[in-house]
């Protein structure tokens, strides 16, 4: 499960978007009675007016289980997950409202929380994205979901396999440099994004296949910009073995 978070200043528009999405369902709320974004934002401001120093005074969270995990859940399960997340974030007593989106196969939760509590204290947003993801990972483990880390590892393993196979096909063709190597890789559906220094030297790279990308170091350390260029040059100088 993936957890995303950010502090926002215009919660009214965000709530309206989440509420009016096709097949959107409200799954829980706390200390708000408003029927739309404008009314709920007005209720949030009662406490936000106690803290004039905080500009981005609301939180927007998104919790996304995998398509397979989400398909197994009832609306009540999503509601439990949203509440569990807020409790672990220590935000369950703040004003909040949550919506479930099921307009696509990938069901997910939107949660909007007043960052200012009843005492006028602002919840710290330092590394809020990382904190939200860490807690989402813990919830995923409790529910036996696929974690974001596992999804990332599976993606990297799949992409690395494709890149390695293409690499092994290209080397015997003896590309002259990394630029020609990049052109050859493109024939296999793999794009190289090369980072160049001011002198034109390639100092970094990542691979992209379709909409997915992977850092060179995640493929293997031998695919770093420096190592790959050395491999290309050694390969160019080596003699082809005739059978």
What number is the average pLDDT over the span 127-151?
92
Residue 242 has pLDDT above 50, yes or no: no
Residue 146 has pLDDT above 90, yes or no: no
What number is the average pLDDT over the span 91-100?
98
Q: What is the pLDDT of residues 197-215, one digit of tens each?
A: 999 899 999 999 999 999 9
- The arrangement of strands across the sheet holding 25-30 comes to 2-8, 58-64, 108-114, 96-101, 25-30
Domain ranges of the chain: 2-146, 150-237
Residue 103 has pLDDT above 80, yes or no: no
What number is the average pLDDT over the span 147-175?
92
Q: Which long-range contacts (CB under 8 A, 24 or more apart) does 192-198 make?
A: 194/225, 195/225
Give one DSSP letter per residue of 203-238, joined into a string: EEEEEEETTEEEEHHHH-GGGSHHHHHHHHHHHHHS
Please identify, in words, the CATH class of the domain defined by 2-146: alpha beta
Position 238 scores a pLDDT of 82
What number is the average pLDDT over the span 4-11?
96
* pLDDT tier, 148 (very low <50, low <70, confident <90, very high otherwise): confident
What number is the average pLDDT over the span 118-138?
96
Q: What is the CA radius of gyration of the chain?
A: 24
The answer to whether 165 touches 141, Cβ cutoff 8 Å, is: no
């Amino acid at each position: 499960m993936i957890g995303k978070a950010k502090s926002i200043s215009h919660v009214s528009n965000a709530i309206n978007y989440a509420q009016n999405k096709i097949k959107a369902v409200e799954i829980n709320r706390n200390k708000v009675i408003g029927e739309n974004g404008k009314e709920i934002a007005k209720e949030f401001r009662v406490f936000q007016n106690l803290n004039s120093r905080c500009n981005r005074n609301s939180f927007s969270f998104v919790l996304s289980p995998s398509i397979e995990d989400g398909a197994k859940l009832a609306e009540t399960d999503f509601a439990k997950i949203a509440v569990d997340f807020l409790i672990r974030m220590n935000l369950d007593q703040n004003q909040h409202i949550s919506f479930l989106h099921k307009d696509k196969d990938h069901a997910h939760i939107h949660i909007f929380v007043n960052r200012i509590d009843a005492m006028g204290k602002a919840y710290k947003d330092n590394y809020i994205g990382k904190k939200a993801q860490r807690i989402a990972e813990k919830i995923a483990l409790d529910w036996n979901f696929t974690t974001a880390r596992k999804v990332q590892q599976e993606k990297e393993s799949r992409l690395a396999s494709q890149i390695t196979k293409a690499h092994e096909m290209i080397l015997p063709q003896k590309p002259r440099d990394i630029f020609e190597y990049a052109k050859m890789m493109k024939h296999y559906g793999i794009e190289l994004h090369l980072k160049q220094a001011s002198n034109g030297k390639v100092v970094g790279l990542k691979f992209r296949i379709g909409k997915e990308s992977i850092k060179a170091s995640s493929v293997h350390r031998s695919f770093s910009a420096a190592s790959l260029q050395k491999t290309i040059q050694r390969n160019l100088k080596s003699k082809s073995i005739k059978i």
